[in-house]
Amino acid sequence: MLHGPNLNLLGDREPEIYGRITLAEIDRRLTALAAELGVHVETFQSNHEGELIDRIQSARGRISAIVVNAAGYTHTSVALRDALAASGVPVIEVHLSNVHRRERFRHRSLIAGIATGQICGFGVDSYLLGLRAAAALAAGG
Ligand code: CA2
């Protein structure tokens, strides 16, 4: 599970858009669901594009799927898209908010075109649904 820039601020600011849940709580919920599904989840947050890319490269051959909320980089980063495409594993794009009913610049995702699917608008449930999708893909379904 990759969390992009500024998501470490969750729970602190803009609760009207992103709710009151913290990133630590999202990670706890993901870890609990992973145990239920019988899969292992690793979570990583960074505010730095290069660190996210390094982490994607280190996943190659070691993990079965990547769930990613690339936050602002979703709309701008060719480098992140290229790294995800090169990872050779299925990518599931998730967002807390429904990016399609927000500002126009959020409607375009550079990740969507290389992702297996996109889940947005369901708050923390976007992540949990993303993990379910990842587990199903990892199991070959
Ligand atoms: O809805 C999402 O999950 C987003 O990926 C969140 C990004 C935004 O740029 C995308 O368009 C949609 C923003 C993450 C920043 O999160 C904050 C949390 C609290 C306070 C300020 C920013």
Query: Residue 129: what pLDDT?
Result: 98
Query: Residue 34: what pLDDT?
Result: 98
73 is an active site residue: no
CA 102 to centroid of chain Cα atoms: 18
At a CB cut-off of 8 Å and minimum separation 6, what does 131 contact? Answer: 1, 30, 33, 34, 37, 39, 41, 67
Crossing angle for the helix pair 78-86 and 49-59, nearest 10 degrees? 10
Query: Residue 12: what pLDDT?
Result: 79
Better pLDDT: 96 or 12: 96
Q: Is the pLDDT of residue 107 over 90?
A: yes
Query: Residue 141: what pLDDT?
Result: 64
Catalytic residue among 95, 100, 107, 127: 95
Give how far Cα 16 sits from Cα of 12, 21, 78, 98, 104, Å.
11, 11, 30, 13, 19
pLDDT digits (tens, 9 = 90+) for 21-68: 999 999 999 999 999 999 999 999 999 999 999 999 998 889 999 999
Q: What is the mean pLDDT of the chain?
A: 96
- Which neighbouring-strand residues pair with 117? 92
CB 105 within 8 A of CB 132: no
- The CA distance from 66 to 64, in Å, is 7
Q: Is the CB of residue 95 below 6 angstroms from any atom belonging to ligand 1?
A: yes
Closest residue to atom 20 of ligand 1, CA basis:
13
